[in-house]
Amino acid sequence: MSEAALIGLFVATVQFGTLVFLAALGELIAERAGVLNLGVEGMMTMGAVSGFMVGLETGSPWAAFFAAAAVGSLVGGFHALVSVVLGADQVVSGLALTIGGLGLAAYVGRNVVGERPETQFTDLGIAGLADIPWIGEIFFDQPPVVYLTVLLGLAVWFVLARTRLGLAIRAVGESAPTTDTAGHSVMALRSVAVMVGGAFAGAAGSFLSLYMAPGWTEGMVAGRGWIAVALVIFGAWRPGRLALGALLFGFTLALQPRLQTFDIEVLGLDVSSISPALLGILPFVLTVVVLVIISWRHRHRPSVAPAALGLPYRREER
Amino acid sequence: MASTDADYAVWLRGIEKRFPGVIACAGADLRVRPGTIHALLGENGAGKTTMVSVLSGVYRPDGGEVWVNGQRRFFQSPADAIAAGVGMVYQEFRLVPTLTVAENIVLGAAPGLLRSAEIEERVAELSAAYGMAADPTRPVWQLSMGERQRVEILKALWRNASVLVMDEPTAVLTPGEAAELGLTLKAMAEDGRSIIYISHKLDQVVAFCDEATVLRQGKTVATVDNLDDVDLSSLAEMMVGSSGGGYVQRPPALEAGPEVLALQGISALNDRGLPALADINMTVHSGEIVGIVGVSGNGQKELAEVVTGLRRPSQGRVTFKEQDVTEASPADRYRLGLAYVPEDRIGVGLAPKMSVVDNAVVRSYRSQRRGLMLVMAKCVQFCQDLVERFGVRAGRLHDPVAGLSGGNLQRLLLGRELAEQPAVLVAAQPTRGLDVQGVAAIQSHLADQRADGVGILLISEDLDELLALSDRLLVMFEGRVVAEYGPDVTPRTVIGEAMAGQVRA
Amino acid sequence: MIRPVLARRERVVPATQAAGFVLGVVVALILGAILLWVSDHSPAEVYERMFDSAFKGTDSLSRTLERATPLALTGLSVAVAGSMGLWNIGAEGQMMAGAIVATGVAMIADGLSGPLLIALMMASGVVGGMALMIGPALARSHLRVSEIITTLMLVYVAIRVVEWLETGPWKDPESFGFAVIEPVPEQAALPGLFGRANIGMLIALGLLLVFWLAVSRTAWGYELRLAGSSPDTARYAGVSLRRKVLTALLLSGGIAGLAGAVQLTGSAVRLESGLSNGYGFAGIIVAALALMRPSGVAVVAFVFGAVQVGGQSIQTLGVSSAIADILQAMILFGALVAVVFFNYRIQWSGPGGESSIAESGEPDLAGEVA
């Protein structure tokens, strides 16, 4: 395997890692506030199509990125309205969001399938660092979204751990009545968390359609929104562990299309002879296996999930 | 005592509040002067909790006025009430178990940026000022009930509440801790704060409080400006509306029958995997009531679960009617004659969303089968018999059981467990939360069963109930049986000390 | 300030989920009309075409029933898990797994007579669906791993396996280089009823009936309901939760696998990666709208079948068939919201509007109020 191929693999690992980390970070915020949102795949897809279309229209990747975040937030707001404000079942609402989001994206984007964007994010060579062999190319010559995502990860960690708002979000995910009677608005906290989470997912979707696979096709998110949902469990609802998990999954996602080009043998089997379709199951099988292993290791301990995850709250219910 | 309206710390005027099918408050009044401890009395369902929920902004009243410190208030949320100086300590604590003491105290009233060290220091200062020890860095799930209550009070003091509402504060405390709480409250009242104290333990009310308001069926029926002027029995009479309504008389002593249930060296873990029971040895004979007393969370729940088969002991042996049933499932034990009225009526004893009939046959559906099919007619018949025998007011038998009142739920549950003549009944908190009639009905059923030769393991937090009914009384503390008392009257103070782990030799 | 608050109604509007569903359909049609209108289509024309193509004449009706068949089966699959409080959102993949195994069996046993081969393929469909569910089911019953994520992940696995089979091992040698699998044997085609409807529909209806009987009239069903609605009560009654979780999920997977076999022998020509066609995902909406009840599944599946047939037909008007997906999700959202408002009313609360005592007459004072 050539050095260039190996570097390419790690560059792609960082990018795929960024993609799933950004989306999972959004889901983490929502779940820490006690709202399960299974609509990540739908929000990402809506972000992908809207980001791509705004990019075509304006020629500005940043305008496209933030437009996608706004759309993601709007779609997330729908989940907040139905499941937080009106208190409907979160699982049902989230699934409907995914199905409806995929349909709406297909409808909205029907006329731009196959078009190519004129401009896209350029890689930011960070002066001095980008020239370091290996490390420079992998970590310091990436598109700006990668660095923005790292900053967002740090920001989410800081807000959750070190601010009044973060304390309230952590509290409302554990016990809504407690947070309510302490004087915070449960509805506001949860709605904001879901909408911010939606923005992250939408932005992640546009990173896909603007940079990683420029263009729009139906179903282009291809299950990576679901991987983001699983990642939150893998990350035990903590941003730091989430980042580690994202790199692991990023590696698998990056490996899958490249494996064929690598001239290596595993257990006497020539890897390049394996069908790309079969290699495509890797990330999904890995997700299941990882979830099972985590649960096996934690089987005697109480769950670390936010205690109020998935439970709607109405104040005067009795 | 002459006061003008503006002098009241709290004035709830003509409060009305309805819930579907129920009127919780029908024009009730409550006036509290500054710097006093005010008892709010009434039976279950009299509207006490609803009144204070209106005061704390949790419920919006359907009618009436809320005045706090001389100002009319329209609370839209708990935040508004907190801002107006109302602090609330709920019966079921409103604490986040995974957060630290300091984080719980400042929740909702924290600075924008949290500097843990600084906050913990300020919390420590506050707790020292009122003589309430609390380590600010510990997560709340590690604390005892008494410590959690201190955190709740500190939460209100952190916001500098001028009115503190305490809902049944001593239910989870040992008698010693309760006395300590009394001192804390007095100190706070001397600070000029007002305390509204909800309780039905009248002896404590008389000891702690200055004045009282009595509610009955959602209305204020009496106000007492000076509690020194009234005696216990007249307070009780005001609450109930007629005299009486005490506990069922202690049944006459019977000749103890053969041993039916025995635990030998039982140890078990709780849900968190921590030790909950340690080396428990006890027996229950037929025709006797063995009472288990203790502050909640000292292993009573786990004990009931080990006996009934819902929890595997880590060590030891459970013998029932001379058979080793340590490995037997709950259903097998029931078939052998071991019945169970669990502490959680809804959610364990009964499935709330299922119908009355479905709930009636939880224990016996296996015998209502014909082949694979469940014979509905037989199920309905079984349920109807139960409802009649135990006086359950059940409405439509195919409606969800959740629509029944607490007393009727308990009658249904107890009736179901007794339907097939068990040899032993484990009853956990069987009268908690019931009104006077309900309590009396359940207690007399227990006494009748004892007379019929059933061995009863009665777990309760109500010491009076246990003293009235039990042939023997075992005290549990930190997962152990620390003391046993016979049928002779034992001073409550001695039992209270044992509940706190201090056993007199 | 006057703010709106949701207050539980004193008397719940005597409306059922059925009314919620109807309202959901109405809301979805209105929102869909707006969407069509802003994208320069005539809603009236589009809806008329959709309605005609789904209901006008026996041929149209048979197309609706043809589509409703897999929807009823996947809806039932989701409902079986749902009655235990579990979510099988991988019916899409289990359909594929069922179709894969059925195809494999058909390749080996293509000498059998029609009825025998069909029966064998149905059975292998069930086996295939269950096989894909074994992992998630065991992980859920023994390790409490969320079945939501594991079942979903395996959808992608199943679809990729079909893609692999198409390009490699099962590639039809007579396909002139196209990556397709050989068609199922002719004698394995499900007998037709009328138009495009086939006996797959009767299989679906029969299963719905059997499931309804099993849940409401057998001890097994009683245990399932008990375990689903109140797990601790079930444990107390001596029901093994693990076994119930396992059987419910495996049955759910098996029914979805059967849906794959029915689709393969009923409507499709051969196994291909588009065979499941979103039926598995739509089944989730069907079951949710039906509140996991078999009778509801039948009705909702029929309506959704019509929406999908309609969605196909409007492509000739230049309208994207994605409208059908949007409408289905909107029906669910509309019904969710409608049911909330059946049970709650908006109360305007504030200094001026706080007293709404005018409502209701003399209420009873009964009941212990905690």
Give how far the C-alpha of residue C256 lies from the chain's centroid of Cα atoms, to the nearest Å.
9
What number of C-beta contacts closer than 8 Å exist between A and B? 84
**Residues from chain C contacting residue A229 (CB–CB below 8 Å):** 149
- How large is the average pLDDT for residues B7-25? 84
Strand partners, B341: B427
Number of domains in chain C: 1
The Cβ of residue B360 has, within 10 Å, a number of other Cβ atoms equal to: 28
For residue A238, what pLDDT is reported?
A: 93
Please state, in angstroms and rounded to a whole number, the distance separating the CA atoms of residues A118 and A135.
Answer: 30
pLDDT tens digits for range A58-71: 989 999 999 999 99
Please state, in angstroms and rounded to a whole number, the distance separating the CA atoms of residues B320 and B259.
Answer: 9
Rounded to a whole number of angstroms, the CA Rg of chain C reads 23
Residue B114 to residue A300, Cβ atoms within 8 A: no
Helix axes A164-174, A186-207, angle to 10 degrees: 100
Give the three-class secondary structure for C291: coil
Please state, in angstroms and rounded to a whole number, the distance separating the CA atoms of residues B494 and C10.
Answer: 50
Band of residue B93 on the pLDDT scale cut at 50, 70, 90 = confident
Band of residue A1 on the pLDDT scale cut at 50, 70, 90 = low
Higher pLDDT, A221 or C10: A221
For residue C321, what pLDDT is reported?
A: 86
The pLDDT of residue A55 is above 50: yes
Closest CA to C270 of C175, C154, C344, C361: C175
Q: Any idea which of A121-130, B57-66, C67-76 has the lowest mean pLDDT? A: A121-130
A179 in Cβ contact with A308 (< 8 Å) = no
Q: What one-character-per-residue DSSP string does A266-303 give?
A: ETTEEGGGS-HHHHTTHHHHHHHHHHHHHHHHTTTS--
For residue A69, what pLDDT is reported?
A: 97
**Residues from chain C contacting residue A230 (CB–CB below 8 Å):** 149, 153
Could you tell me the strand order of the sheet in which B259-269 lies?
B275-285, B259-269, B315-320, B323-324
For residue B4, what pLDDT is reported?
A: 56
For residue C351, what pLDDT is reported?
A: 44
Pick from C145, C163, C285: CB nearest A277: C163
**Residues from chain A contacting residue B273 (CB–CB below 8 Å):** 300-302
Pick from A161, A178, A316: CB nearest B59: A316
Cα angle for residues A224, A227, A230 (degrees, 5° grid):
160
User: Taking all residues of chain C, what is their mean pLDDT, rounded to a whole number?
Assistant: 86
Residue B363 to residue C233, Cβ atoms within 8 A: no
Instruction: Give B162→chain C minimum CA distance, Å.
Output: 24
The pLDDT of residue B487 is above 80: no
Please state, in angstroms and rounded to a whole number, the distance separating the CA atoms of residues C335 and B96.
Answer: 34
Token pair for A62: 């940043």
The pLDDT of residue B245 is above 50: no
Inter-residue long-range contacts of B273-280, CB under 8 Å, 24+ positions, other chains counted = B273/A300, B273/A301, B273/A302, B275/B479, B276/B302, B276/B479, B277/B302, B277/B303, B277/B306, B277/B313, B277/B479, B277/B480, B278/B478, B278/B479, B278/B480, B279/B315, B279/B316, B279/B480, B280/B316, B280/B479, B280/B480, B280/B481
Domains B5-240 and B259-350+406-411+420-499 share a fold: yes
CB of B330 less than 8 A from some CB of C: yes
Q: Which residue of B has its CA nearest to A305?
A: B98
Instruction: Give B235→chain A minimum CA distance, Å.
Output: 29
- How large is the average pLDDT for residues C334-354? 68
Token pair for A79: 């989940």
The pLDDT of residue C10 is above 60: no
Instruction: Give A240→chain C minimum CA distance, Å.
Output: 22
Strand partners, B216: B219
Phi, psi torsion values for B445, nearest 5 degrees: -60, -45
Locate the domains of chain B by residue range.
5-240, 259-350+406-411+420-499
**Residues from chain B contacting residue A168 (CB–CB below 8 Å):** 107-108
Q: Which residue of B has its CA nearest to A171?
A: B96
Q: Which residue of A has its CA nearest to B403?
A: A318
Q: Any idea which of A292-301, B115-124, C303-312 has the lowest mean pLDDT? A: A292-301
Name the percent of chain A lying above pLDDT 70: 97
**Identity of the amino acid at B4:** T
User: In terms of C-beta density within 10 A (0-12 exposed, 13-18 middle, 19 or more buried), how is residue B249 classed?
Assistant: exposed
- How large is the average pLDDT for residues C173-194? 83
Task: Give the residue carrying structure tokens 């957060």.
Answer: B99
**Residues from chain A contacting residue C153 (CB–CB below 8 Å):** 223, 226, 230, 284-285, 287-288
For residue C355, what pLDDT is reported?
A: 35
**Residues from chain B contacting residue C293 (CB–CB below 8 Å):** none
CB of C58 less than 8 A from some CB of B: no
Please state, in angstroms and rounded to a whole number, the distance separating the CA atoms of residues C151 and B227.
Answer: 65
The Cβ of residue C107 has, within 10 Å, a number of other Cβ atoms equal to: 14
Please state, in angstroms and rounded to a whole number, the distance separating the CA atoms of residues C196 and B57.
Answer: 62
CB of B433 less than 8 A from some CB of C: yes
CB of B248 less than 8 A from some CB of A: no
Please state, in angstroms and rounded to a whole number, the distance separating the CA atoms of residues A57 and A63.
Answer: 10
Band of residue C9 on the pLDDT scale cut at 50, 70, 90 = low
Chains touching A, CB cut-off 8 Å, 3+ pairs: B, C
Instruction: Give B128→chain A minimum CA distance, Å.
Output: 22
Inter-residue long-range contacts of B399-403, CB under 8 Å, 24+ positions, other chains counted = B399/B355, B399/B356, B400/B352, B400/B353, B400/B354, B400/B355, B401/B350, B401/B351, B401/B352, B401/B354, B401/B355, B401/B356, B401/B358, B401/B359, B402/B346, B402/B352, B402/B353
B35 in Cβ contact with B189 (< 8 Å) = yes
Give the three-class secondary structure for B66: strand
Please state, in angstroms and rounded to a whole number, the distance separating the CA atoms of residues A43 and A29.
Answer: 15
For residue A274, what pLDDT is reported?
A: 75
User: In terms of C-beta density within 10 A (0-12 exposed, 13-18 middle, 19 or more buried), how is residue C149 classed?
Assistant: buried
**Fold classified for B259-350+406-411+420-499:** Rossmann fold (3.40.50)
Residues with Cβ within 8 Å of B501's Cβ and at least 6 positions away in sequence, in order, are: B477, B478, B482
CB of B271 less than 8 A from some CB of A: yes
The Cβ of residue B27 has, within 10 Å, a number of other Cβ atoms equal to: 14
Residue C326 to residue A295, Cβ atoms within 8 A: no
- The widest CA-to-CA distance across chain C, in whole angstroms, is 82
**Residues from chain C contacting residue A289 (CB–CB below 8 Å):** none
Token pair for B277: 């029971």
What is the CATH number assigned to the segment(s) B5-240? 3.40.50.300
**Residues from chain A contacting residue B82 (CB–CB below 8 Å):** 182-183
Instruction: Give C360→chain B minimum CA distance, Å.
Output: 11
Please state, in angstroms and rounded to a whole number, the distance separating the CA atoms of residues C234 and B351.
Answer: 8
Residue A184 to residue B108, Cβ atoms within 8 A: yes
CB of A112 less than 8 A from some CB of B: no
Instruction: Give A96→chain C minimum CA distance, Å.
Output: 5
For residue C180, what pLDDT is reported?
A: 84
Residue B108 to residue A162, Cβ atoms within 8 A: no
Residue C10 to residue B22, Cβ atoms within 8 A: no
Residue A182 to residue B78, Cβ atoms within 8 A: yes
**Residues from chain B contacting residue C82 (CB–CB below 8 Å):** none
Predicted TM-score (pTM) of this structure: 0.86
| Preferred mutation among A160, A165, A178, A298 to probe B, highest tally of B CBs within 10 A | A178
The Cβ of residue B312 has, within 10 Å, a number of other Cβ atoms equal to: 11
Q: The domain A3-297 is classified under which CATH number: 1.20.1630, 3.30.70, 1.10.3470, 3.30.1330?
A: 1.10.3470
Residue C217 structural domain: 50-292
C189: domain CATH number?
A: 1.10.3470
Please state, in angstroms and rounded to a whole number, the distance separating the CA atoms of residues A289 and A294.
Answer: 9
